[in-house]
Chains A and B, each alone.
Chain A
Amino acid sequence: MNDMKTQNPGSVLLPATPPFLNGCALLIWGWQCDFILYAIGMAVLLESARFIHWRTPITDKEFNRISDLSSVIFMITVVYVFATRSYHGIFTILALLPFLLFLLILAQTWSVQGNIKPGALFISMRRLNPDEPGFNNPGIDLSFPYLMVCIISASAGKQQENLFFIFVIILVAWTLWALRPRHTGKYLWLSLLILSVAISYAGQLGLFRLQELTENTFLQWFEQYMWRSRDPSRTTTAIGSLGKLKLSDRIMVRVDTHGEKLSSPLYLREASYNNYGYGVWTNFQHTLRLIDPLPKGRYWIINDQIAGNDRISISFYMDDQKAIIPVPMGLNSISKVNAIEIEHSPYGALSMELNPGWVKYDAKFNHERIDDAPPGKEELEIPPVYQKELAGLADQLGLERQSPAQKVDTVKKFFADNFVYSLTQTERYPRGKYLSKFIFETRKGHCEYFATATTLLLRAAQIPTRYIVGYAIDEYSPLEGQYIGRARHVHSWVLAYVDNHWQMIDTTPSVWAPLEAMDRSFIEPLVDLWSWISYKLSTWDADDTDSNTSGFYYWLLVPVLLYYLWRMFIKDRVQNIRRRAKDKQMAILLAGTDSAFFQLLPALEARYVPRKPGETLTSWLTKIEKNIQGTELRELLALHYRYRFDPSGLSKDEKQRLEHKVKDQLATLH
């Protein structure tokens, strides 16, 4: 053993990051998330520790306090962001993480220890007894975990995705190179890295495809089973989705115009939004105000400034007890509904509280008089990524020199002349460029593209605008005698503030409805019928006593009547026919069982050898006929077999012959 070399147990702690790695990660994060100035400062603070050798002793307890302070700041940020941006704020928090953890990494970098105990991060570990056998409490160097936090936080930013991917590869490769085991071959390491990047790239392509599939499947499933009412503070568009947008044929709204034909689509609004960013429209100013019903009851004046000339009855499926309901633009009042509570937003959304299910209400309106809340600065805001391009386009269209009404006409004409409607997107664009590609290159898309682009382009021309979501009702159902709105009729359009009035603008080419209808299922009429029956059944005990559909229920008696008629007159006949058919079958099975030959068997068995179970008559007769002289048993058996199994059976004479001979044989045997 003398020639043995001794090796010491190796250190297993994560080392510190190599020089400038964390600094670079911070800069990339700052670039991605628009915090570049802060990022430079933070990077300098961290990296300068490599050149300055001054350090301060920080005890474990002080580290604990710093960690607690970071946690408190984190919690306050989470509460604030969630309060202002709901759960969508999670990505804001993700982008802010390097800020929130900076205090801890800074303290570690400038401390004498250079690492912190796990107790600083996990309160539960602080109270554990370090003297307990087996208690393992190594220090943790936070620099690599912080690096990972910076990289992941940077992904919440909005810059170019290709450049970001390259930066991520550099940072991760730098990390792996710094932490690679000794004796690792450079070329092997490099080739593995290249392969990893290739796999990663292929994986990204796969993920795009997967997301496309998932979104489409989920959208269909969601529409089918989980339809929820509109959120007036946020709506996610399908802008940027690849593949073909598929919407279901499910009937969502029914509109009774009381016999009047619609000359143009009827727009039913659900909500208005004023803030756009990356495929999501939001309205954080929206508030709902409770409307008191008139003393006579079941009548709510929404806006008495509007004279409600038109009246329609709307039926809408409320999934929840409280939901946003579709109402016409320029709404005056809601009536004939036993709502518990109705709330109205100055932005046009109307929330109703009632038992879930189909609800029917009357709406008086004047769609030429839209009296929404006046525009604020939000109605002129354009996301920074589009500002330059849209300003250029507005310039190109000469909008600056035109009056507001002319601007609207120019924009409408621009879309009508240059754009086509399409539900399919085949090309993947860089993030934040979906709309630019639509406006300047592909020029084809669905209503969300048109409405969003129109909203932002008019804003670029200094016309305040809002993005509206609701239904465009155009399809008349002869079955129901009223207009219906399907899930695929969900539409978006624009509200523009022109000459101190809100004006509705829809730049989506009018072919959208027929185009979407082309995708309808061939069983749609059946589904519609079922939907109509379900609707009627569900409104059976509805409170709308005004309904003139009560006669419909008498039709339900028809199947009942038919059933009884069937029972009384047809059922017995059918059963008799069935019984006869069965008897016939039985008769075939039992044919020949009355053969006279069977009378012989007991006597033969008693006289000679008994027949074994399953033994055929032929083999049994072969056994016993040796003892019987001059009998005609063989001939009788042949006749018997013919009588039993021959479909044509025996003639009358043959049958008589069989019976006589059997009798003779019996007499002989006795």
Chain B
Amino acid sequence: MIKKLLFHNFLIVYRASQWIRRHFTHTGMLILAGLVVSAIFGLNIRQTLSYQIFTLLLGILLMSCISVLVFRGKFRFKRVLPEYGTVGQKLEYRILLENLSPKEFNNLTLLDELATDLPSFEHFLKARDIQDKRRNFFDRIVGYPRLVSLIRKTRGGLIQPGKLETISGKDKIQQRITLIPVRRGYLRFATTAIGKCDPFGLFRRFKKYNHQDSLLVLPRLYEFPPINLAGRRKYQHGGVNLASSVGDSEEFISLRDYRPGDPMRSIHWRSYAKKGAPVVREYQDEYFSRLGLVLDTFAGGYTEIVFEEAVSVAASIAVSSLQQDSLLDLMFINNQVYRFTAGRGLAGVNNMLEILACVESAREENINELETLLLQHMNDSSGFICILLAWDKKRQNMIERLRSAGIPLMVYVISMSADSDGFSNMTLPDHPEYFQVLQAGDIEHSLQETHGRNR
């Protein structure tokens, strides 16, 4: 009850703070802070002279607001976005701004805004923030910083307002905007606003324009060491193209007589006509290395942070593994089975990152289905790289079954804690280096540690 009340108050405070940040310049905020403090100390006008400061600052702020009441500019915008962004990496884009009126404008501010969906109470309760462990007890319990962080995550990034000194009448200018995405997936640009600042430089009045766009942000990438699984090349029926389940242009070897069971489509009709007996085409068998990148999507009781880190690890492995001459199957389950193949002229690393940018965690447990999927593709895969969100009994059994089937495995378990004691019953005793625990929020450090230990 109290939490719910606090949550609703937080939303009000958040909206108010956003309004203040948007409408007041830094100087304006300084004056506003002075106004609040002087109001507190000036309550009793017989005690201090703060009331004089209060009235003066109030008068100034009032005049600031009044002086920008009228803003008759007309503008047109065009946003020029890059193809992708990456979480945590600064990206720059441009906004082309056209002044449609003949009047010159000074002291303008350009504010490009991402759509901000405020979280529900349930979402807020479930949300965990990686920065929480660094916060003090009060902040952790009360949760306002967590809420702000959650909203920032949902929004996807923060765009600082850009200053435009002057734009002449009927002129066009372009403004470079910097954005650091904080989450993967699509960022939705909602509005572009142009603000006019008052002569004191305290308050801005905005004209908002609906200006929707979207930008795909790829998962955050870590520098991953090459993974050398002790696997071998496997026969791929139908060759590379069939590996991706598309097309039928196989490599031709020779013609031979029809044997019962040969598919109809293999019959070489011209030779059949010439010979009077069915003749079929024979193809070259394909052997090559084909790795399965298995992403566990059932976060369950575990937090979203772990899942996000798992996606980043999957993306990082995809980037590092696809540089090798092999195929990579990204496999995961979320309501249905997904298997995407990349490498050797098929889909590129970008396609795989796009998929990973949009993958979502599963709500229902799917470890058994995942196990079935892996066992199904065991024969045509050289090995599996499994990224697991936990190390519970079901996952242990799955890994044990795959291991006993003799397929090379590399298992990464993403964990919230750095403590690896809970993983003592690991099931890869013969190859301990193929089992790694990566700490969410500190993946790079975990990787460095493991790499150093293995060397």
Please report A residues at the B interface, Cβ cutoff 8 Å: 1, 3-10, 12-14, 32, 91, 94, 123-124, 127-129, 131-134, 136, 144-145, 148, 151-152, 154-157, 161, 164-165, 168-169, 172, 175-176, 179-185, 188-189, 192-193, 195-201, 203-204, 207-208, 211, 240-241, 278-279, 431
A7-B163, A181-B201, A192-B200 given. 5 additional CB < 8 A pairs? Answer: A10-B163, A161-B49, A172-B60, A192-B63, A197-B56
Interface string of B162-173 (1 = CB under 8 A from A): 111110000011
B180 touches A133 (CB 8 A): yes
A94 touches B41 (CB 8 A): yes
A195: shortest Cβ distance to chain B, in Å? Answer: 5
A132 touches B130 (CB 8 A): yes
B278: shortest Cβ distance to chain A, in Å? Answer: 63
A1 touches B96 (CB 8 A): yes
A180 touches B56 (CB 8 A): no
A147: shortest Cβ distance to chain B, in Å? Answer: 9
B56 touches A169 (CB 8 A): yes
The 10 closest A-B pairs by CB, nearest first: A10-B163, A199-B59, A183-B106, A203-B55, A133-B88, A196-B59, A127-B134, A134-B182, A200-B59, A155-B49
A-B residue pair count with CB separations less than 8 angstroms: 206
A133 touches B47 (CB 8 A): no
Residues in A whose Cβ lies below 8 Å from that of B343: none
A198 touches B59 (CB 8 A): yes
Q: Does B321 contact A (CB under 8 A)?
A: no
Rounded to whole angstroms, the CA-CA distance of A215 and B228 in the bound complex is 82
B48 touches A151 (CB 8 A): no
Residues in A whose Cβ lies below 8 Å from that of B47: 91, 278
- Choose from A13, A124, A165, A176 the contact partner of B136 (Cβ within 8 Å): A124
Rounded to whole angstroms, the CA-CA distance of A186 and B356 in the bound complex is 56
A8 touches B176 (CB 8 A): yes
Q: Does B402 contact A (CB under 8 A)?
A: no
A4 touches B96 (CB 8 A): yes
Q: Does B175 contact A (CB under 8 A)?
A: yes
Q: Does B161 contact A (CB under 8 A)?
A: yes
B58 touches A203 (CB 8 A): yes
B173 touches A4 (CB 8 A): yes
Residues in B whose Cβ lies below 8 Å from that of A145: 30, 33
Q: Does B82 contact A (CB under 8 A)?
A: no
Q: Does B303 contact A (CB under 8 A)?
A: no
B172 touches A4 (CB 8 A): yes
Interface string of B346-387 (1 = CB under 8 A from A): 000000000000000000000000000000000000000000
Q: Does B267 contact A (CB under 8 A)?
A: no
B182 touches A6 (CB 8 A): no
Residues in A whose Cβ lies below 8 Å from that of B202: 176
Residue on A nearest B104 in the bound complex, by CB: A183
Residue on A nearest B37 in the bound complex, by CB: A152
B109: shortest Cβ distance to chain A, in Å? Answer: 8
Q: Does B292 contact A (CB under 8 A)?
A: no
Given contacts A1-B96, A152-B37, contact A183 B59 (CB under 8 A): no
Please report B residues at the A interface, Cβ cutoff 8 Å: 26-27, 30, 33-34, 37-38, 41-42, 44-60, 62-64, 67, 87-88, 96, 106-107, 130-131, 134-136, 139, 145, 152, 157-158, 160-166, 172-178, 180-182, 197-202, 220, 441
A155 touches B152 (CB 8 A): no
B106 touches A196 (CB 8 A): no
A121: shortest Cβ distance to chain B, in Å? Answer: 13
Given contacts A9-B176, A164-B49, contact A185 B182 (CB under 8 A): no
Residues in B whose Cβ lies below 8 Å from that of A134: 152, 157-158, 180, 182
Rounded to whole angstroms, the CA-CA distance of A133 and B86 in the bound complex is 10
Rounded to whole angstroms, the CA-CA distance of A336 and B359 in the bound complex is 85
Residue on A nearest B89 in the bound complex, by CB: A133
Rounded to whole angstroms, the CA-CA distance of A208 and B180 in the bound complex is 51
Residues in B whose Cβ lies below 8 Å from that of A13: 26
Residue on B nearest A164 in the bound complex, by CB: B49
B136 touches A123 (CB 8 A): yes
Residues in A whose Cβ lies below 8 Å from that of B60: 172, 176, 193, 196, 200
Q: Can you list 7 A-B pairs, Cβ within 8 angstroms, ordered by A? A: A12-B161, A129-B441, A164-B52, A181-B199, A203-B55, A203-B58, A211-B44
A160: shortest Cβ distance to chain B, in Å? Answer: 10
A170: shortest Cβ distance to chain B, in Å? Answer: 11
A328: shortest Cβ distance to chain B, in Å? Answer: 33
B58 touches A199 (CB 8 A): yes
A180 touches B200 (CB 8 A): yes
A6 touches B201 (CB 8 A): no
Residues in A whose Cβ lies below 8 Å from that of B198: 192
Residue on B nearest A176 in the bound complex, by CB: B200
A208 touches B45 (CB 8 A): yes
Residues in B whose Cβ lies below 8 Å from that of A208: 45
- Choose from A124, A132, A154, A192 the contact partner of B135 (Cβ within 8 Å): A124
Given contacts A5-B173, A134-B152, contact A196 B26 (CB under 8 A): no
Rounded to whole angstroms, the CA-CA distance of A1 and B130 in the bound complex is 44
Rounded to whole angstroms, the CA-CA distance of A662 and B88 in the bound complex is 107
Residues in B whose Cβ lies below 8 Å from that of A185: 199
B52 touches A165 (CB 8 A): yes
Among A128, A164, A183, A200, residue most surrounded by chain B Cβ atoms (within 10 Å): A200
Residues in B whose Cβ lies below 8 Å from that of A192: 63-64, 67, 198-200
Rounded to whole angstroms, the CA-CA distance of A240 and B173 in the bound complex is 61
B201 touches A157 (CB 8 A): no
A133 touches B30 (CB 8 A): no
B26 touches A136 (CB 8 A): no
Rounded to whole angstroms, the CA-CA distance of A144 and B59 in the bound complex is 20
Given contacts A1-B96, A12-B26, contact A129 B172 (CB under 8 A): no
Residue on B nearest A194 in the bound complex, by CB: B63
A199 touches B63 (CB 8 A): yes
Given contacts A12-B161, A128-B134, A203-B58, contact A152 B38 (CB under 8 A): yes
Rounded to whole angstroms, the CA-CA distance of A155 and B38 in the bound complex is 9
B158: shortest Cβ distance to chain A, in Å? Answer: 6
Rounded to whole angstroms, the CA-CA distance of A197 and B158 in the bound complex is 37
Residue on A nearest B26 in the bound complex, by CB: A14
B108: shortest Cβ distance to chain A, in Å? Answer: 10
Residues in A whose Cβ lies below 8 Å from that of B26: 12-14
Residues in A whose Cβ lies below 8 Å from that of B62: 196, 199
A152 touches B52 (CB 8 A): no
- Choose from A128, A179, A241 the contact partner of B201 (Cβ within 8 Å): A179
Rounded to whole angstroms, the CA-CA distance of A597 and B135 in the bound complex is 96
Rounded to whole angstroms, the CA-CA distance of A9 and B175 in the bound complex is 7
B213: shortest Cβ distance to chain A, in Å? Answer: 18
Rounded to whole angstroms, the CA-CA distance of A189 and B60 in the bound complex is 11
Residue on B nearest A279 in the bound complex, by CB: B46
A554: shortest Cβ distance to chain B, in Å? Answer: 52
A580: shortest Cβ distance to chain B, in Å? Answer: 60
Rounded to whole angstroms, the CA-CA distance of A184 and B176 in the bound complex is 24
A644: shortest Cβ distance to chain B, in Å? Answer: 67
Residues in B whose Cβ lies below 8 Å from that of A8: 176
Given contacts A133-B87, A165-B52, A200-B55, contact A10 B162 (CB under 8 A): yes
Residues in A whose Cβ lies below 8 Å from that of B56: 165, 168-169, 172, 196-197, 200
- Choose from B46, B52, B134, B178 the contact partner of A155 (Cβ within 8 Å): B52
Rounded to whole angstroms, the CA-CA distance of A505 and B172 in the bound complex is 85
Residues in A whose Cβ lies below 8 Å from that of B52: 155, 161, 164-165, 168, 200, 204
Residue on B nearest A204 in the bound complex, by CB: B55
Residue on B nearest A88 in the bound complex, by CB: B47
Rounded to whole angstroms, the CA-CA distance of A378 and B34 in the bound complex is 38
Rounded to whole angstroms, the CA-CA distance of A620 and B134 in the bound complex is 94
Residues in A whose Cβ lies below 8 Å from that of B41: 91, 94, 152, 155-156
Residues in B whose Cβ lies below 8 Å from that of A9: 160, 162-163, 175-178
Residues in B whose Cβ lies below 8 Å from that of A181: 106-107, 197, 199, 201
Rounded to whole angstroms, the CA-CA distance of A258 and B21 in the bound complex is 72
Residues in A whose Cβ lies below 8 Å from that of B63: 192-193, 195-196, 199
B44 touches A179 (CB 8 A): no
Residue on A nearest B178 in the bound complex, by CB: A9
Residues in A whose Cβ lies below 8 Å from that of B54: 203
Given contacts A155-B53, A181-B107, contact A6 B131 (CB under 8 A): no
